Structure 1
């Protein structure tokens, strides 16, 4: 058993507070990782608010980066001393996993988002002998040490800057995957990104690496729209002063070929679908509370429009994340423009800053 410090959410709507916890020994297929950094994502905030049925008190965190300390039986991808990035987990055996789509694993929801335990029901984290919600995305990386599923790990080079690369595990690969794995822009395509937060700006950077010639960033914060232009957007729409659908129609002439919706607002999603050209595709990333519905104009959909839901960029992590690492390393994806670092002890300040919109992507340093 390993004793470590973790940021615990006691109940829905409670703050993150530092507490001593105990970690179970790594089982077969698990790894003990000493955390170096962890990104703070809106999914963490949604669960902490009580908006998703994760068992609390619990330990969240799903954009971890660290160093392997110990490996369980059967682990072959990594060894002690390796630097790793952490992402979601998956079973590896179902049809979607076998087909290279582990983000749609048959056991994705319980294993990553709502279960709080291993697949066998055992706890990875306890406090004073009482189980806590853990195993979040196979990692629960808001702790100085974490028991992590091997399938959540991506090995990186010994000199990789973990503080910078931590967000690749969720937010960055989600935005990039929406563009590269779903929209797949053709020469001359138009891409509209709704929301210029970490996921949206990752989509802008990814679109800038494709043959798309029109990349439109949409937000209500002028400073974020300015940053979007610096990261590759060719146009911006400030929805505090412009009508989204009319502005996209004017810029593109016929509507958007692709839309990436990151805000989680059903009103924004509806506008995004309305802004599509015939045969255009809207990718839904932003997640409102469970059970939320959106109304669509059925006759407008008959023009060949598609609406596609997306989890984690439909990423095969062992392929996509190393590619993202190389793009960041060579400066072609300037991720540092989004990142603000915080001490782990200042996690609640990071929450406040990202909630207020003053920070785009907080990264906790241990």
Structure 2
């Protein structure tokens, strides 16, 4: 079938992207679902820093590729052997398809699925198939098994979680990345508990989803850290008890003083070594530092090794919120439905596919929190 999609052909183009147009919106061909696959009509697709890091070249991917990975939609057609979804079902996309039988999946850690990581790196689906093309025979690669910047997507069944059809699809579209990663880092990786203290470093869509998660978890002290005062003001509106500008040269001392020696859990979402170092410094003795940011692959971290032992410190990575998507996505949507996780407040811009390059300009300069492309 013929569909409209946003194709990335070259990384590292200069900003503003509204002028250089790294994403070319064009007509492409999409094959229907093979065995174990599903064709989904896209409802909304979110703009995420993980997409931006491919556009600017910080996380290289094979090209040409249809970008996008955070989305929701409605099932259009199912392939052979798919018996638990049907046309009309509402779904959220997950950007690591879990095979269900590798070592990580067998241990209940589908976010670390080994075949899923391999195929995501190659730009094909979990089956090894490539369903996108143009001009007859030129293959277009899939972005981490999803490619949601398109009117339709053919994906592995393992890339989808069925949701309650009564929930709004624009909100559901944020759950598979921003909320699963941010709130998941709070509940699963950081083990934030009622009455605890937590810091969120980096207030993009994922970081602010983590802040909402900390509020929902019942944390008593919630410290927000960012370089933009506008983000800090918003963080205080949605539950932060303290806010500090990351450019303040005395920020470490101020946070440690405000939290009586540091926070129990510091969560970093900025994707920079400097931000992670700050998160580590504001974690108290015996506390846990969690990083869910994705810095450049060559970036290196240096820490005083003795602190890990002498202060019983823990440093943990969190990928997709250390979550089980089939369990956590319905849970987070249930929290939203009850008013405990108001992720709709993160939505700042709604745009059409043709405006996607302007959207990434806003994401890059920090003037947006979460933006969605609407396909309806």
Identify whether the pair has TM-score above 0.5, normalized to the shorter chain: yes
CA deviation after TM superposition for structure 1 residue 241, in Å: 3.4
Q: Which residue of 2 aligns with 1:100?
A: 108
Match runs of 1:206-225 below 5 Å? 206-225=213-232
Q: For residue 7 of structure 1, what is the aligned residue in structure 2? A: 6
- Is the Cα contact below 8 Å between 1:278 and 1:304 reproduced in 2? yes
SS of the residue corresponding to residue 85 of structure 1 reads strand
Structure 1, residues 323-362: CA drift from partner, whole Å, max 9, x if none? 1112222322121221121112211111111112111111
1:319–1:160: structure 2 CA closer, same or farther, 3 Å change rule? same
Q: Give, in angstroms, the shift of residue 312 of structure 1.
A: 0.6
1:241-294, CA deviations, whole angstroms, 9 ceiling, x for partnerless residues?
352311221111121110100011101211211221111111111111112211
The residue aligned with 2:197 is: 190
Is the Cα contact below 8 Å between 2:123 and 2:144 reproduced in 1? no
> SS where residue 204 of structure 1 aligns?
helix
| Structure 2 CA distance for aligned equivalents of residues 314 and 182 of structure 1 | 6
Residue 156 (structure 1) aligned with residue 156 (structure 2):
no
CA distance in 2, matches of 1:326, 1:210: 14
**One of 334, 346, 358 as aligned partner of 2:355:** 346
Distance 2:109 2:367 in 1: 34
Q: Which residues in structure 2 correspond to 1:237-316 (within 5 Å)?
A: 237-241=244-248, 243-302=250-309, 303-316=311-324
Give the match's secondary structure for 1:36. strand
Is the CA contact (8 Å cut-off) linking 1:12 and 1:50 kept in structure 2? yes
TM-score normalised according to structure 1 size: 0.95
Flag the 1:29–1:354 CA change in 2: closer, same or farther, 3 A: same
When normalised by structure 2's length, the TM-score is: 0.93
Closer, same or farther: CA 120–149 of 1 in aligned 2, 3 Å: closer
Match of 1:90 among 92, 98, 101: 98
* Contact 1:123–1:131 under 8 Å retained in 2: no
Distance 2:207 2:297 in 1: 21
Instruction: Give the direction of change, closer, same or farther, for the CA distance of 1:132–1:357 in structure 2 (3 Å limit).
Output: farther
The CA distance in 1 between the partners of 2:2 and 2:313, in whole Å, is 53
Whole-angstrom CA distance in 2 between matches of 1:352 and 1:132: 28
The answer to whether residue 335 in structure 2 is matched with residue 327 in structure 1 is yes
Q: Which residue of 2 aligns with 1:168?
A: 175
Distance 2:193 2:65 in 1: 44
Counterpart-to-counterpart distance in 1, 2:168 and 2:308: 45
Please name the residue that 2:366 is paired with. 357
Deviates more, 1:204-213 or 1:154-163: 154-163
With over 3 angstroms needed to count, the CA separation of the structure-2 counterparts of 1:24 and 1:64, relative to structure 1, is same
Q: Aligned-pair distance for 1:130?
A: 3.4
Q: Identify if the C-alpha distance between structure 1 residues 93 and 131 changes in structure 2 by more than 3 Å, giving closer, same or farther.
A: farther
Paired residues, number: 364
Deviation at 1:40, TM superposition (A): 0.8
Q: Mean Cα displacement is larger for which, 6-15 or 196-205? A: 6-15
Question: 3-state DSSP class of the match of 2:6?
Answer: strand
* Comparing 236-245 and 95-104, the one that deviates more: 236-245
Which deviates more, 143-152 or 127-136? Answer: 127-136
* CA offset digits 1:308-334 (Å, max 9, x no partner): 111110111111111111222232212
Say which of 67, 76, 90 aligns to 1:60: 67
Deviation at 1:119, TM superposition (A): 4.3
- What does residue range 222-241 of structure 1 map to in structure 2 within 5 Å? 222-241=229-248
Please, which runs of 5 or more residues in structure 2 have no aligned partner? 14-21
- Alpha-carbon separation, structure 2, partners of 1:120 and 1:319: 23
Instruction: Assess if the C-alpha contact under 8 Å between 1:156 and 1:322 holds in 2.
Output: yes
| Segment of structure 1 superposing worse, 29-38 or 185-194 | 185-194
**Aligned equivalents of 2:50, 2:146: Cα separation in 1:** 14
What pairs up with 1:79-158 in 2 under 5 angstroms? 79-88=86-95, 89-112=97-120, 114-119=121-126, 121-158=128-165
Stretches of structure 1 that go unaligned for 5 or more consecutive residues are none
